[in-house]
């Protein structure tokens, strides 16, 4: 466990029990689990009282959660260091496993949380139910928005899917041709998305069903989550080490998914260059929808969108680019002082976006290979982590945020790293040793 473990948990030489631990391993496990899974440490204290009959002070729950989180961060960093010291050939080979996964995926994204160190040794979490309950320090008299920082989250998963001779779903699913749904979907990605005026002429549900085929999306088997407050470069190394540990290098089919952020493709080029790079389809179709309706009434732009959406689904991005180039020529180049809603600016930005990511948008081929085309698993993981760390009245120290992100990622991972952690803790606390059965 390194220096952190020796600092927080000195072992009794006679019994092997940490001399500064007032709680049994079972109670500690319940404390940490409740603090990580509940929305706040206060809620964790209530859960411990109601469900386990434990009366434990909130500060004790917070401090022990941070201590355990720091131990897990130290263990994670040790794995990353060991991976970094491996010869290049061993990194490419991956950790030897009984069987190689058939298909794998790696994705990353971020979420927001507030960092505010009020003292040199802050608790794991600082929550104020009312913003004015505690006056700000003199040096902190600034906009609260300045406290918002970005955390980085990665997701690795093995997949169950099939390889097909041709695209199994050549027609775009009907949910992407439903005006209210695509408007709502696009508003989550892009700004200034036009609203359906109720006059769009679209096929009925029965007509759409005739051309709609059941999509056999890859099924997630085992997920591993990585989360940190450190820079994206550090996240890339953590993801590479985690992928090595799970033997992803030996997989026959490998996908790397991301949105349009350049940092995603920087990490792909640095650590996952032999993975198939895929731009999230939802981000791409949102841009297409926004451009198709820019400067036009909904009833006029909707047929254009439907045509472009099918081309996008089929991986024929060059056809969309050609029509966007023509549209840009008609509207003229955008001016520097154009508002974000200006049609020529919207169309120009969409054209630039598609040009920059064209190589990552061969969706028909990705479906044929049984690879995912959306970052839905990543988006779901971000929401699960945000539920614990993000809030207008939640403030974290740097150390507390890193510890909580690590623990939240651990408990979301199907590989169950905390099960192994607590088993080792139990053996250390009782002085018991496990022996292999004699043959």
CA distance from start to end of the chain: 32
pLDDT band at 192 (very low <50, low <70, confident <90, very high): low
Q: Is 123 a residue whose pLDDT tops 70?
A: no
| pLDDT given for residue 316 in this prediction | 97
Region 300-320 average pLDDT: 97
| pLDDT given for residue 189 in this prediction | 77
| pLDDT given for residue 252 in this prediction | 92
- DSSP class of residue 370 equals T
Q: Any idea what the Cα angle at residue 278 is, between residues 225 and 209, rounded to 5°? A: 100
Domain that holds residue 213: 155-378
Alpha-carbon distance of 174 to 348, in angstroms, equals 28
List the beta bridge partners of residue 108: 154
Q: Is 423 a residue whose pLDDT tops 70?
A: yes
Residue 84 lies in a domain: no
| pLDDT given for residue 20 in this prediction | 54
Residue 208 lies in a domain: yes
| pLDDT given for residue 431 in this prediction | 54
Q: Is 418 a residue whose pLDDT tops 80?
A: yes
Whole-number percent of the chain with pLDDT over 90:
65
* Inter-CA distances, 102 with 96, 309, 417, Å: 15, 30, 23
| pLDDT given for residue 100 in this prediction | 81
| pLDDT given for residue 136 in this prediction | 31
Number of domains in the chain: 1
Residue 41 lies in a domain: no
Whole-number average pLDDT of the chain? 83
pLDDT band at 139 (very low <50, low <70, confident <90, very high): very low
Q: What is the pLDDT of residues 329-379, one digit of tens each?
A: 999 998 888 888 899 999 999 999 999 999 999 999 999 999 999 999 999
Q: What is the pLDDT of residues 30-50, one digit of tens each?
A: 999 999 999 999 999 999 999
Alpha-carbon distance of 31 to 46, in angstroms, equals 11
Residue 121 lies in a domain: no
Half-sphere exposure at residue 229, Cβ-oriented, CA atoms within 13 angstroms: 20
Residue 230 lies in a domain: yes
| pLDDT given for residue 30 in this prediction | 96
Whole-number percent of the chain with pLDDT over 70:
79
Residue 74 lies in a domain: no
- DSSP class of residue 419 equals H
Residue 246 lies in a domain: yes
Region 152-180 average pLDDT: 95
Among the ranges given (88-97, 106-115, 187-196), the one the predictor scored with the smallest mean pLDDT: 187-196
Q: What is the pLDDT of residues 253-297, one digit of tens each?
A: 999 999 989 999 999 999 999 999 999 999 999 999 999 999 899
The CB density around residue 84, as the number of other CB atoms within 10 Å, is: 11
Instruction: Judge if pTM exceeds 0.75.
Output: yes
Q: Is 142 a residue whose pLDDT tops 70?
A: no
The CB density around residue 361, as the number of other CB atoms within 10 Å, is: 23
Residue 67 lies in a domain: no
């Amino acid at each position: 466990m390194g220096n952190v473990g020796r600092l927080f948990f000195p072992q009794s030489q006679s019994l092997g029990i940490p001399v500064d631990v007032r709680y049994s391993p079972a109670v500690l496990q319940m404390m940490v689990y409740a603090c990580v899974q509940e929305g706040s440490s206060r809620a964790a204290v209530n859960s411990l009282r109601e469900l386990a009959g434990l009366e434990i002070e909130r500060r004790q729950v917070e401090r022990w959660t941070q201590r355990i989180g720091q131990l897990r961060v130290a263990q994670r960093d040790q794995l990353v260091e060991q991976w970094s010291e491996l010869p290049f050939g061993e990194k490419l080979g991956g950790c030897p496993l009984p069987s190689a996964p058939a298909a794998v995926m790696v994705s990353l994204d971020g979420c927001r949380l507030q960092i505010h160190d009020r003292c040199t040794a802050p608790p794991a979490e600082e929550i104020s139910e009312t913003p004015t309950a505690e006056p700000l320090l003199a040096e902190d008299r600034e906009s609260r928005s300045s406290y918002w920082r970005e955390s980085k989250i990665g997701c690795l998963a093995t997949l169950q899917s099939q390889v097909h001779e041709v695209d199994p779903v050549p027609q775009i699913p009907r949910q992407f041709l439903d005006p209210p749904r695509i408007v709502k979907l696009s508003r989550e990605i892009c700004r200034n998305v036009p609203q359906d005026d109720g006059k769009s002429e679209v096929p009925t549900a029965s007509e759409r069903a005739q051309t709609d085929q059941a999509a056999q999306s890859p099924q997630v088997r085992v997920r591993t989550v990585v989360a940190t407050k450190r820079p994206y470069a550090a996240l890339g190394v953590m993801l590479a080490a985690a992928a090595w540990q799970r033997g992803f290098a030996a997989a026959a089919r490998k996908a790397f998914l991301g949105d349009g952020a350049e940092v995603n493709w920087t990490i792909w080029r640095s650590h996952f260059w032999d993975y198939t790079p895929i731009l999230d389809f939802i981000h791409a179709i949102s841009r297409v929808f926004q451009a198709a309706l820019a400067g036009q009434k909904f009833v006029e732009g909707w047929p254009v969108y439907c045509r472009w959406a099918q081309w996008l689904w089929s991986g024929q991005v060059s056809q969309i680019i050609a029509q966007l180039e023509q549209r840009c020529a008609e509207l003229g180049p955008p001016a520097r002082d154009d508002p974000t809603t200006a049609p020529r600016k919207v169309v120009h930005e969409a054209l630039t976006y598609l040009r920059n990511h064209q190589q990552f948008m061969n969706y028909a081929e990705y479906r044929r290979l049984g690879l995912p085309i959306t970052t839905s698993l990543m988006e779901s993981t971000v929401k699960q982590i945000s539920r614990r760390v993000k809030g207008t009245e939640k403030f974290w120290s740097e150390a507390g945020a890193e510890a909580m992100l690590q623990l939240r990622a651990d408990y979301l991972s199907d590989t169950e790293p905390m099960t192994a952690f607590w088993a080792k803790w139990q053996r250390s606390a009782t002085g018991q040793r496990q022996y292999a059965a004699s043959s």
